[in-house]
Each structure stands twice: as C-alpha cells, then as structure tokens.
A = this chain, B = another copy of it.
C-alpha cells in the first residue's frame, strides 16, 4: 500500500507519460494549462485508495484514476464559462485567457480523453461496469450543475433539493471514483456499493463543511476569502437553514442583506453572521454534516476487508472532514 503522496507522485508520472497530442496546439494547450493549475488530485487519489484496499498492483488503476481527473477538469472548464468566472486557483480561466470557443472545444476533447483513459485500462471484462459507472456519474454531475443553475433564479429552494444538488454536482464523483477503484480491483459487488456510498456521503458532508468554512473558517487555513458566499448572496445551506428555522424578522433581515451588493464588505458579513449566530445556524449545519459523515463511515466499516487495508483512505477522508479541528 502507498501513502497519499506516493499515489500523487504515481499520478504525476502517469500524466507526464500520457500527454495530450501536440496538434492542433490551439485545442490541446488549454487542456494542458487547465491541468497545471494545480488541483489537489483528490478524486484520482481516492480511486487508487479504493483499489489498494484489495490489490497491490496500483499501477493498473492509473488510467481509470486519470480518467476521473480529466473528467473533473472538463467540468471545471465548462462550469467556468457558465459562471463567467475570471479566475480559477488565482489564474485566468480558459475562456478568459483564450475565449469561449476554445473553452467549449478543449473541454469537449478533454471529456473524450477521459473515455480514452477508460479504454486504456485494458480490462475487457471490467470495462462494461467501469463505463456504466462513469457514464452514470458523469450524467449526474451535469444534472447537478443544471440544478445549481436553476437555483440561481429560484426563491423557493428547499434543503432536500439543495442537498440533492450538491450530491449530484460534486459528491457522486467521489463515490464513483471509489467504486471504479473497486471495479478495477474486482472487489465484491457489495463492497463496490459500500465504497460508492462512502464516497457519496462523505462528499455531501464535505460540501456542507465547505459552506460552513466559507463563513466561519480560519482565514489563515481557508483557501478562499472568508465571507465570500455572503458577499455574493449565495443561497448556501446556512441561508436555507435560516429561512427554514429562524423568526420572520431575522429571515427578512437576511433577505434584505441579500439584495445588496458586495460593497458593504465587512459590515455585511458581520451582520449576516450575527443572524446565523443568534439562530444557532452553524451548530445546526454542523449536525447536518455529522449525520452524513457518520453514515459514510458506517459504509466504510461494512466493507469486507481488513481495517489496515482501509487505513490510508480512512485517514484522508477524516483529514478532509476535520480540517478545522
């Protein structure tokens, strides 16, 4: 078994040995650029960890792992167009640095490249299951993005709908990555399902935590501007929980702050945070997160494999979900 950093190193080597074609440069350079923006490679790494629960020859799972990373980067390239986002990880987005045509077409070819990597796994007997899982997850990610787009212009989003959106948009890809690792390793089907749900539920918990950290995180540790969601009037879980549970006066105050722009800055962030605080919203959201997290780890416990084979995966997810402790 390998540590996280050893797995990341193996992914780096695999990516370097399997570059995009050189031509047409206008098509492939934006793909290379996107991949160098320095994501955490979380998704391919957990696929490899899922594989290593069962087998030691982890190099056999590298193409499937890289397929997941390429898919993730394809979604980022297209989502950035839809969100009109100028920056990603502090660098110009592809549609900003080049143009929308480039970001569409380079994203398309990156998605197809992901399927080339699935083919490159070279495991004929497992390819149907791999392809089915990947297709299912990829479809759901598009559906989640569509729900997110729809929510921007809806005033009546419920908490279950919001959870469903984050589940589809981001969590199922973690579950799918783990399941694909299990499929590559020919793990029992019941284990593959438990791994899928472990990743899916941990992914939901992670997104809930992300909403919480955006408003309550330690600025020194949180990668983005704390309070960013408040300034952008995002309908996060904190907002939805307030609208569901707080007295009418607080709801109205929150809604009126959400009509204002970002120029009030600190005053706006403080006022909205005060509304959340006096209604115990952070505590309620933390409970929500724990619910999903607990359910996730029950699935991990149900897997028919020795505990020490699950240790690298367990530690990584624990670290991700407890980064503020």
**Which A residues are within 8 Å of any B CB, using their own CB?**
23-24, 26-27, 78, 81-82, 100-101, 104-105, 107-109, 111-113, 115-116, 118-119, 122, 124-125, 127-128, 131-132, 134-135, 138-139, 142-143, 145-147, 149-150
Which residues of the other chain, B, contact A105 by a CB distance below 8 angstroms?
78, 82, 142, 145-146, 149
User: Are the CB atoms of A119 and B142 closer together than 8 Å?
Assistant: no
User: Are the CB atoms of A100 and B100 closer together than 8 Å?
Assistant: yes
Q: Taking the nearest CB of chain B, how far is it from the CB of A172, in angstroms? A: 13
Which residues of the other chain, B, contact A125 by a CB distance below 8 angstroms?
124
User: Are the CB atoms of B119 and A132 closer together than 8 Å?
Assistant: yes
Known contacts A111-B111, A127-B131; is-contact A116 B101 (Cβ 8 Å): no
Query: Lowest 10 CB-CB distances: which A-B pairs, in order?
Result: A27-B146, A109-B142, A82-B101, A24-B146, A112-B138, A116-B135, A119-B131, A115-B135, A112-B139, A119-B132
User: Are the CB atoms of A150 and B108 closer together than 8 Å?
Assistant: no
Which residues of the other chain, B, contact A131 by a CB distance below 8 angstroms?
115, 118-119, 127, 131
Which residues of the other chain, B, contact A145 by a CB distance below 8 angstroms?
105
Number of copies: 2
Known contacts A124-B128, A127-B131; is-contact A24 B143 (Cβ 8 Å): yes
Give A118 to B101 CA distance when docked, in angstroms.
27
Q: List 14 A-B contacts (CB under 8 A).
A: A24-B146, A26-B146, A27-B142, A27-B143, A78-B108, A82-B101, A100-B100, A101-B149, A109-B139, A115-B131, A115-B138, A116-B135, A116-B139, A124-B125
Prevailing SS type, chain A contact patch: helix
Q: Taking the nearest CB of chain B, how far is it from the CB of A184, in angstroms? A: 15
Which residues of the other chain, B, contact A82 by a CB distance below 8 angstroms?
100-101, 104-105
User: Are the CB atoms of B127 and A26 closer together than 8 Å?
Assistant: no
Which residues of the other chain, B, contact A113 by a CB distance below 8 angstroms?
139
Which residues of the other chain, B, contact A143 by a CB distance below 8 angstroms?
23-24, 27, 109
Give A115 to B128 CA distance when docked, in angstroms.
11
User: Are the CB atoms of A104 and B81 closer together than 8 Å?
Assistant: yes
Q: Taking the nearest CB of chain B, how far is it from the CB of A122, in angstroms? A: 8
Give A47 to B118 CA distance when docked, in angstroms.
24
Q: Which residue of B lies closest to A126 (CB)?
A: B124
Which residues of the other chain, B, contact A108 by a CB distance below 8 angstroms?
78, 107-108, 111, 142
Which residues of the other chain, B, contact A81 by a CB distance below 8 angstroms?
100-101, 104
